A and B are shown apart, each in its own frame.
Chain A
């Protein structure tokens, strides 16, 4: 049972345009969401997060939107740059038998930003 879903395995955008990566979740106990970025042969690095008490969080070119009623979040990158080309993982966390610091990851979306 996949609790965090990234339905687009890949996305290609032009440099300077907006990239929108989507993520859906099924577990209503999730109360914290994160986005990680991963380059080949490197570990994932934390990008941005959002608590369920908010609906938007912004950090420079990156904005995460959360729609709790739809159990949907999205990551917007504006403007997109070639260096943003990477795999992006959505992750969710919530209380689960007391182990509330586990993360459940989606399968990832490969973003390619073309010059």
Chain B
């Protein structure tokens, strides 16, 4: 079974703090993704990576950066958290050109 884990289920941070969200997958998948989910807006792609040290912007990259130093780990970084980044953050991975993505349990981030 594919397992995608995220470092925290719930996180509370203050405005202006630097925030790291970590994601690890154990199935040697090439592709990894970060989404945010907001009520009424569905899942929106922030960034994705198709190889180590490679990254591409998704639909809403502003205010975020990512890091992929190892194949199994993909980090999302909020350089200076703002209240409009309060959201559910979901990490996913997929294998090669297969379209199906496996999701982690999500991190509920609250920025106060």
Query: What's the minimum C-beta distance from B104 to chain A, rounded to whole angstroms?
Result: 5
A44 to B58, CA, bound (A): 19
Q: Does A25 contact B (CB under 8 A)?
A: no
Q: Which B residues are CB-close (under 8 A) to A105?
A: 35, 42-44
A41-B106 contact given A105-B43, A108-B42, CB 8 Å threshold: yes
B58 cross-chain contacts in A, Cβ below 8 A? 102
A43 an interface residue at 8 Å Cβ cutoff? yes
Q: What 1/0 flags go to A88-101 for Cβ under 8 Å of B?
A: 01000100000111
In the complex, what distance in Å separates the CA atom of A45 from the CA atom of B105? Answer: 10
Judge if B75 is at the interface, Cβ distance under 8 Å: no
CB–CB B101/A46 < 8 A: yes
Q: Which residues from B are CB-within-8-Å of A102? A: 33, 45, 48, 58
Residues of B within 8 A of A104 (CB): 45
- Chain B facing A: main interface SS: strand
Which label, helix, strand, loop or mixed, suits the secondary structure of the A interface?
A: loop
Q: Which of B43, B94, B97, B100 contacts A89 (CB 8 A)?
A: B43
Interface string of B53-74 (1 = CB under 8 A from A): 0001010000000000000000
A105 to B60: give the CA distance in the assembly, Å. Answer: 13
Residue of A with least CB distance to B108: A41
In the docked arrangement, what's the CA distance between A108 and B35, Å? 14
CB distance from B96 to the nearest CB of A (A): 8
A28-83, CB < 8 A from B? 32, 34, 36, 41-46, 49
A-B contact list, 26 entries, CB within 8 Å: A6-B42, A9-B40, A34-B99, A34-B100, A41-B105, A42-B105, A42-B106, A43-B92, A43-B104, A43-B106, A44-B103, A45-B103, A46-B100, A46-B102, A99-B56, A100-B97, A101-B50, A101-B94, A101-B96, A101-B98, A102-B33, A103-B101, A105-B42, A105-B44, A107-B41, A108-B43
User: What are the nearest 3 A-B pairs in CB distance?
Assistant: A43-B103, A107-B42, A105-B43
A residues lining the B interface (CB < 8 Å): 6, 9, 32, 34, 36, 41-46, 49, 89, 93, 99-108
